[in-house]
Amino acid sequence: MTIIPKEERGREEFTVTETESTVTQHHYSRDNLRLLQNSFWHFSKVQQNLSTTDMAAASSLLSEDQFLCSICLDVFTDPVTVPCGHNFCKNCITDHWNINVHCQCPMCKKCFDRRPELYVNTFISEMVAQFRQSSVKESSCSSGQQGAKPGEVLCDVCTDTKVKALKSCLVCLTSYCETHLEPHRRIPGLKRHQLIDPVKNLERRMCKKHDRPLDLFCETDQMCVCRFCTETDHKLHHTVALEEEFERKKAELGKTDTEVQQMIQERRLKIQEVKQSVKLSREGADRETAVSVKVFTALIQSVQKGLAQLTNVIEETHKTREKQAEVFIQELEEEISELMTRSAEVEQLSRTEDHLQFLQSFPSLNPVPPTKDWTKVRVRSSYEGAVRRAVAQLEETLSKEMEKLHAYAEIKRVQQYAVDVTLDPDTANPFLILSDDGKQVSHGNVKQNLPCSSKRFRCYSIFGKQSFSSGRFYYEVQVKGKTSWILGVARGSVDRTGCVVPSPKNGVWDLRLTKEEEFKVGGSSVHLFLESKPQKVGVFVDYEEGLVSFYDVDVPAVIYSFTGCKFTEKLYSYFNPCHNCGGKNSTPLIICPINSDD
């Protein structure tokens, strides 16, 4: 007689077939089968007929030791019976035979000629399930645990009131509450099971093809597999333990998280940068608005002033013409009066019929009084000349104001390239006096005892420490109170051994004031006529564009620009405070901090 399990959903149905062939193949003991049937029938009857309070007594009819695998010392999982009649977990006996060359029973040491086919022993499997259910049901009923809340993982063993699971077993694929977890803490075999925090859908941890736990990871296909998968579809693939892959992936995840956190931090910093830019933009917009309001207010005032002046001129012109017209009218009335008197005399004489009296009176008749030629005399009514002159003057005023506005915008643009320039004492002429912070230089009357150096200028000049060989840079120097000075940029190779005239030809692009009122650039080649004397001069250089520009910062105005320059080496800021002229020019050149908010 043998046991042929039916691979159907019920798993409670089974068939006992008495065929000679099956008896010969499996060597199952008839007495052993009868014992299993009687034990299962007895345990089922006890479970069906006894009350809840008697379940402890019923469960004690069969002890846990009767359901332990002799290999793993744990409660049977998928129990199978080998031909000698001993029972083992299917996975345990399979692994045992995979390790040992001969197929031998671990209990009685009986050897088999060939590896027998293994089928799950339905009787023992059902008895184990019934035993577990009856044991945990007793514990559940007596524990008095409260039911689980919505969303919590439920204990799979509780039958009446489902309580919250404390742990999930990756071996049993079952979630247990505190009461039903007790065997895993007490039985040695169960203690080796892997417990994790409770999770749902434990069936997802089973291989759908082999109904075994997914405890390996196939690196070839990047998927979780069971041990049987490594003998079939993934036989030649590289597999590792799930824990090993977990640790590796977790390390990768940690690295990814670090990168993500860094990216988050970078973006937060970018947000701060953008917010700061918006803040600066707001401040810049307010400044530009204030300047625009100031400039356009000045333009409006100029227009209003021009309109008032034009209206006044027109009114004064009209009054002048009105007085002139009154004079003309008076003269005309006087001439009319004289002419009317002469007309009356002529008319009276013309009425005389006495020839003698007419002829005697005719010579005494006054001639026609001299009169003015009024054909070219007129009072002008047009004011085109006055309007044209006023519009021309207004255009000139507006042009000057627009130039100021453009210059202001230009200065604000180049100020963003401001650099911190400090004077280099190693290049200073011995007569020059430097401030401690390296921001001021003036000419002194006494030559200082300084080390000789090829870097040092023989003329009253000095370089800034910073050099520039690309890009743009800008700095400002206060020249207020000085009667002469020279500013600009120079090549590092400029001749410092003598009094060479600074000029682009000699490697210096400069702006200078001489004799208090004369402004020159490029040495002495170009004279400038400035409306006002600069108090603060800005110097801007665009290395790639070959541009050097000078600005009157306070007006504001563009003083002069060198264009088309060819720079091939390092440039330095260049300063020459010139001779102090007995104290008249002792005021220092001062490198000013750039305040773009002005």
Q: What angle do CA 236, 209, 222 make, to 5 degrees?
A: 45
Sheet holding 195-196: strands in order across? 174-176, 167-169, 195-196
The helices-and-strands tally (H runs, E runs) of the chain is: 10, 25
Average pLDDT of the residues in 481-492: 94
Q: Is the pLDDT of residue 131 over 80?
A: no
Q: How confident is the model at residue 48 (pLDDT cuts 50, 70, 90)?
A: very low
The mean pLDDT of the chain is: 81
Where do the H-state alpha helices sit in 434-491? Answer: none
Give the SS3 label for residue 130: helix
Q: Is the pLDDT of residue 143 over 90?
A: no
Q: How confident is the model at residue 516 (pLDDT cuts 50, 70, 90)?
A: low
Rounded CA-CA distance 66/123 in Å is: 13
Q: Is the pLDDT of residue 40 over 70?
A: no
Beta carbons of 546 and 567 less than 8 angstroms apart:
yes
Q: How far is CA 164 from CA 150, 397, 552, in A?
A: 10, 89, 82
* E runs forming strands in 207-311: 216-218, 223-225, 239-241
| 167 backbone dihedrals φ, ψ, rounded to 5° | -145, 160
Q: Is 530 exposed, middle or buried (0-12, 13-18, 19+ CB in 10 A)?
A: middle
Query: Comparing 51-55, 71-75, 166-170, 279-283, which segment has the lowest mean pLDDT?
Result: 51-55
Ordered DSSP codes for 327-391: HHHHHHHHHHHHHHHHHHHHHHHHT---HHHHHHHTTTSPPPPP---TTS-------HHHHHHHH
Query: Comparing 240-254, 295-309, 430-444, which segment has the lowest mean pLDDT?
Result: 295-309
| pLDDT per position as a tens digit, 446-458 | 899 888 888 899 8
Rounded CA-CA distance 182/561 in Å is: 92
- Helix crossing, 384-415 with 242-350: angle to 10°? 160
Predicted TM-score (pTM) of this structure? 0.46
Sheet holding 462-468: strands in order across? 462-468, 571-576, 485-491, 508-514, 518-521, 526-528
Q: Is the pLDDT of residue 58 over 70?
A: no
